[in-house]
Amino acid sequence: EATLGDGLHSLWWNGNPARTNTILGPHWHHFAGAAAVRETIGGAEVFFPPGAFGQTNLALAERLVAQVAGWVPDGAHVTEFHAGCGAIGLGLLARAGHVTFNEIAPAALAGLALGLAARPPAERARAAVLPGPAAAHVDAVHGADVVLVDPPRKGLEAALLARLVDHPPARLI
């Protein structure tokens, strides 16, 4: 730590005792520095703790988030499934009527909590978090003007896909 000085953001150790092809394991130890990487995306501070997914091309991520924001009307009630650390939805809080975030990954939920804490109180009051699998929160589609889905590579859960097909929102992004 002393050798790197200001060049050191943080120092973490990760252990994976399982014999799998999974790179990161469940064991983390924080030695020094910040608890999360902080980036500004879509006008909001977004926090990425170790183990949370983040886009590697920040300029492209910013453009994608701006495009999505352009499709969300002011005052809309938004539900975002697979919200991660909030890179898309946190910036919408400034002008949305309400944003409901859904996420399952503990590291992403920790980052989302940090991002929400960094927003002004009036914006935090217009946010809700539904932790757990998206399939457990399909009722959040009802009442949403806009539904955002940013699923992992395996795609949308069958229950969420069925709900979106049976009860399509006014706008699906």
Q: What is the pLDDT of residue 27?
A: 86
Classify burial at 4, counting beta carbons within 10 Å of its beta carbon; exposed 0-12, middle 13-18, buried 19 or more.
Answer: exposed
Q: What is the pLDDT of residue 2?
A: 58
| Per-residue pLDDT at 145 exceeds 70 | yes
**C-alpha to C-alpha distance for 95 and 100, rounded to whole angstroms:** 14
Q: What is the pLDDT of residue 3?
A: 66
**Per-residue pLDDT tens digits for 73-97:** 999 999 999 999 999 999 999 999 9
Residue 172, Cβ neighbours under 10 Å: how many? 13
Assessment of whether the complete model's pTM goes beyond 0.75: yes
Kindly report the backbone phi and psi dihedral angles of residue 12, in degrees, each rounded to the nearest multiple of 5, phi listed first. Answer: -130, 155
Mean confidence (pLDDT) of the chain: 93
| Per-residue pLDDT at 4 exceeds 80 | no
Query: Residue 52 in contact with residue 103, Cβ under 8 Å?
Result: no
Cβ within 8 Å of residue 82, ≥6 positions away: 102, 103, 104, 134, 149, 150, 151, 152
When pLDDT is averaged across residues 33-57 and rounded to a whole number, the result is 92
Q: What is the pLDDT of residue 143?
A: 92
Kindly report the backbone phi and psi dihedral angles of residue 153, in degrees, each rounded to the nearest multiple of 5, phi listed first. Answer: -55, -30
